[in-house]
Amino acid sequence: MATILVTGGAGFLGSHLCDRLIERGDDVICLDNFFTGKKRNIQHLLGNPRFELIRHDIVHPVFLEVDQIYNLACPASPEAYQYNPIKTIKTSTVGMVNMLGLAKRCKARILQASTSECYGDPEVHPQQEDYWGHVNPIGPRSCYDEGKRVAESLCMNYHLSHGLEIRIMRIFNTYGPRMDPNDGRVISNFITQALRGEPLTVYGEGKQTRSFCYVSDNIEGMMRLMDQEETVGPVNIGNPTENTMLELAEQVLQATGSSSKVAHLELPKDDPKQRCPDITRAKQYLNNWEPQVDLKTGLKQTVAYYKELLNL
Ligand code: NAD
Ligand code: UDP
């Protein structure tokens, strides 16, 4: 049993992680500024004596005693992270320094929720961890991409300079229940549009690809990465099954039974054309980790969640 800090713990991934850690018997401190997180995601944990909630912003230092830190605090959807780009950069840089400082003082191991966005609009396919990426440093996504790249560099330099125990996880598109229905990401948009009988907004021609990992597979990979001793990372965690956005729209229509049409909207600037993880490293270091939930099954669970949440 350990005391574990989860920053961004009221968010989509963070709340599922809190659930798993509590189930395992750990003491969990969930820290969140509620920028994109929701109380409803952790409400069921509030009465649990092993669960504590702190409203705090990681851009400001915090003094706690913990054994491990999962640093998930950062808006993840392009709409949310571009809302206040300077704040997004501060969260991934100043916030990262604060969390690394805390880890150093407590001699705690820290896992950083990094991202496939470190690869930018990749010229190598599928993406392996040793690919350095193709990122526009001044584009609209740079507040997120470059912030996360600096965060990785900070982690590695704290490791090299101070012997800090770090773990770097490069997360590819992940979806599932508790994803905010209004966060603008493709799966939440498509499902809520389909359930309301509205057109599914496909950006551009819809030929761009993403690889979608179900949340339970992500959290399993995250905990295995934190607890293994062989590598500090980076390690890709994602589902290597790749879909175009048009294929995704078709799957969402099937999962919802909706007869919505598809509406093509303008493609956002610097939207990556393709994205697919090479998960060889994850398999090698994380006890043969690989996704267990296929898109059809995961979409079914996610549709059920939105139906109940939105009363649709
Ligand atoms: P989310 O927006 O649901 O969760 C992020 C949480 O962090 C929210 O609860 C938010 O309120 C909180 N937060 C934001 N800034 C903060 C700050 N300065 N101080 C304290 N709390 C703050 O997003 P998510 O999908 O759960 O993503 C969690 C992490 O995983 C993020 O770091 C994200 O970059 C990373 N990630 C997610 C995906 C994905 O597909 N879900 C992909 C790549 C990386
Ligand atoms: N997208 C789309 N319609 C939407 C939202 C997103 O076609 O309503 C596309 C977007 O252009 C991108 C992909 O879906 O190519 C994934 O977008 P998302 O915002 O979910 O995450 P990203 O992988 O771009 O960070």
Which letter, b or e, does each residue of 47-84 get, where b requires 16 or more Cβ atoms within 10 Å of its Cβ?
eeeebbbeebbbbeebebebebbbbbbbbbbbebbbee
pLDDT tops 90 at residue 130: yes
Instruction: Tell me whether residue 91 is in a domain.
Output: yes
Instruction: Tell me whether residue 284 is in a domain.
Output: yes
Place of tokens 């009221």: 10
- Return the best residue to mutate from 185, 246, 250, 302 for the ligand 2 pocket (most ligand atoms within 8 A of CB): 185
Q: Is the dihedral of CA 94, 57, 183, 42 positive or negative?
A: positive
CA 276 centroid distance within chain: 15
Domain count of the fold of the chain:
1
Quick one: pLDDT at residue 1? 80
Instruction: Tell me whether residue 144 is in a domain.
Output: yes
Query: Residues lining ligand 2, judged by CB closer than 6 Å?
Result: 77-78, 173, 185-186, 189, 201-203, 208, 210, 245, 268, 271
Instruction: Tell me whether residue 187 is in a domain.
Output: no
Instruction: Tell me whether residue 189 is in a domain.
Output: no
Instruction: Tell me whether residue 220 is in a domain.
Output: yes
Instruction: Tell me whether residue 105 is in a domain.
Output: yes
Give me the percent of the chain exceeding a pLDDT of 90. 99
DSSP label of 77: S
The neighbour count for residue 270, using CB atoms within 10 Å, is 15
Mean pLDDT calculated for residue range 47-54: 97
Q: Which stretch of DSSP H or E encloses residue 53?
A: strand 51-55
Mean pLDDT calculated for residue range 36-43: 98
**Would you state the structure tokens that stand for residue 64, as one six-digit string?**
């706690």
CATH number at residue 161: 3.40.50.720
Based on the residue annotation, tell me whether 175 is a catalytic residue of this protein: no
CA distances for 57 relative to 18, 74, 91, 229, 299, angstroms: 18, 10, 8, 30, 32
Q: Is the dihedral of CA 21, 73, 175, 281 positive or negative?
A: negative
Tell me if the pTM is above 0.95.
yes
The ligand 1 atom nearest the CA atom of 91: 18
Q: Which amino acid is at 81?
A: Y
Confidence band of 310 (pLDDT split at 50, 70, 90) = very high
**Would you state the structure tokens that stand for residue 199, as one six-digit string?**
């057109």
Could you report the per-residue pLDDT of 155-175, keeping only the tens digit for each? 999 999 999 999 999 999 999
Mean pLDDT calculated for residue range 250-265: 97
Q: Which stretch of DSSP H or E encloses residue 210?
A: strand 209-211
Mean pLDDT calculated for residue range 97-124: 97
pLDDT tops 90 at residue 137: yes
Alpha-helical runs (H) found in the chain? 12-24, 78-83, 85-106, 142-162, 186-195, 215-227, 245-256, 280-285, 295-310
| Segments forming the whole domain that contains residue 58 | 3-176+213-240+276-292
What is the whole-number distance in angstroms between the Cα of residue 13 and the centre of ligand 1? 7
**Mean pLDDT, the chain, as a whole number?**
97
Residues contacting 234, CB < 8 A, separation 6+:
114, 118, 129, 152, 168, 169, 170
What is the whole-number distance in angstroms between the Cα of residue 140 and the centre of ligand 2? 14
**Would you state the structure tokens that stand for residue 119, as one six-digit string?**
């690869």
Contact (Cβ atoms closer than 8 angstroms) between residue 4 and residue 66: yes
Could you report the per-residue pLDDT of 173-210, keeping only the tens digit for each? 999 999 999 999 999 999 999 999 999 999 999 999 99
Ligand positioned closest to the Cα atom of 84: 1
Could you report the per-residue pLDDT of 51-96, keeping only the tens digit for each? 999 999 999 999 999 999 999 999 999 999 999 999 999 999 999 9
Contact (Cβ atoms closer than 8 angstroms) between residue 295 and residue 243: yes
Contact (Cβ atoms closer than 8 angstroms) between residue 161 and residue 154: no
Instruction: Tell me whether residue 37 is in a domain.
Output: yes
